[in-house]
């Protein structure tokens, strides 16, 4: 194949840009589960035609972040308790895979260093009682952990799951009654990644994610309307 057959690298398309902004809005809770996305309003907001907007929304539909209901429109996906369990089980598989690559490839020290900013942000937010900022730093911690595996495929898979995690959280922001406990748990996991025996590190990560499921289930049950 001649070089002339290769298209030059292009900048991020309008549809990709809009998709990224919508993902961020969903992850931050600005677009809540169940919210309907109005084409006219969003097109005016982004100052684009409806073509790239529709392309962006269809990308998120294919990722499961949005859902299309015929004759009604496009909505932010609402996740059930079964979805919550599935999201965290999937995250456990991906993050354990990332951790195994980190441990096997001698990236423990680099991962420890990379996770520092997330832990410091979490501690600072916890001291200020800022649950939203603690949740942001929590997401950042797990995103960095997967990125340190240097596996583009794991990173791509984790990206959607982390957005779905925030969707699971909804307005809760955090399931920890004491934000400092959440920060301390991540700080301890970071230390184990640096020096702990591999079986212990893996067990700690799995238990951390399993505990998150149990906390979310308990919170959701408490928020559900009581049956007469």
At 99-156, the pLDDT tens digits run 999 999 999 999 999 999 999 999 999 999 998 889 889 999 999 999 999 999 999 9
Backbone phi, then psi, for 37, in 5-degree steps?
-95, 115
Determine the pLDDT at residue 85: 86
The secondary structure of the chain as a DSSP string is --GGGSPPP-PPPHHHHHHHHHHHHHHHTSS-TTPEEPHHHHHHHHT--HHHHHHHHHHHHHHTSEEEETTTEEEEPP--HHHHHHHHHHHHHHHHHHHHHHHHTT-HHHHHHHTHHHHHHHHHHHHHT-HHHHHHHHHHHHHHHHHTTT-HHHHHHHHHHHHHHHHHHGGG--S-SSHHHHHHHHHHHHHHHHHS-HHHHHHHHHHHHHHHHHHHHHHHHHHSPPP-
Least confident window among 5-14, 112-121, 189-198: 5-14
Cβ neighbours, 10 Å, residue 192:
19
Please determine, for residue 4, whether its predicted confidence score (pLDDT) is greater than 90: no
For residues 45 and 7, the answer to whether their CB atoms sit within 8 Å is no
The Cα 215–Cα 157 span in angstroms is 23
CATH 1.10.10.10 location in the chain: 14-76
Determine the pLDDT at residue 222: 67
Pairing of strands 36-37, 73-76: antiparallel
- The pair of three-digit structure tokens given for residue 116, joined into one six-digit string: 């520092």
CATH 1.20.120.530 location in the chain: 81-222
Determine the pLDDT at residue 29: 75
% of the chain at pLDDT higher than 70? 88
- Domain 81-222 CATH class label: mainly alpha
Among 141, 154, 155, 149, CA closest to 191: 141
The Cα 216–Cα 89 span in angstroms is 13
For residues 14 and 51, the answer to whether their CB atoms sit within 8 Å is no
Determine the pLDDT at residue 10: 46
Determine the pLDDT at residue 73: 93
CATH topology assigned to domain 14-76 = Arc Repressor Mutant, subunit A (1.10.10)
The Cα 66–Cα 95 span in angstroms is 24
- Per DSSP, what are the bridge partners of residue 68? 74
Among 54, 185, 183, CA closest to 120: 183
């Amino acid at each position: 194949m001649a070089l002339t057959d290769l298209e030059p690298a292009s900048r991020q398309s309008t549809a990709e840009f809009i998709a990224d902004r919508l993902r961020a809005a969903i992850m931050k809770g600005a677009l809540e589960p169940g919210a309907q996305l109005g084409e006219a309003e969003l097109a005016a907001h982004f100052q684009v035609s409806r073509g790239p907007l529709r392309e962006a929304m269809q990308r998120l539909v294919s990722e499961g972040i949005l859902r299309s209901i015929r004759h009604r429109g496009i909505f932010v996906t609402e996740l059930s308790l079964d979805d919550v369990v599935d999201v965290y089980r999937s995250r456990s598989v991906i993050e354990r895979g990332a951790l195994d690559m980190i441990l096997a490839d001698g990236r423990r020290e680099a991962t420890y260093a990379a996770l520092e900013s997330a832990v410091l942000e979490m501690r600072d937010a916890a001291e200020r009682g800022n649950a939203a900022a603690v949740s942001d730093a929590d997401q950042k911690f797990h995103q960095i952990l997967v990125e340190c595996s240097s596996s583009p495929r794991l990173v791509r898979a984790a990206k959607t799951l982390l957005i779905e995690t925030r969707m699971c959280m909804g307005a809760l922001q955090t399931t920890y009654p004491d934000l400092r406990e959440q920060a301390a748990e991540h700080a301890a996991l970071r230390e184990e990644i640096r020096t702990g025996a591999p079986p212990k590190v893996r067990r700690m990560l799995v238990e951390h994610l399993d505990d998150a499921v149990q906390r979310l289930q308990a919170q959701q049950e408490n928020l559900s309307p009581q049956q007469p």
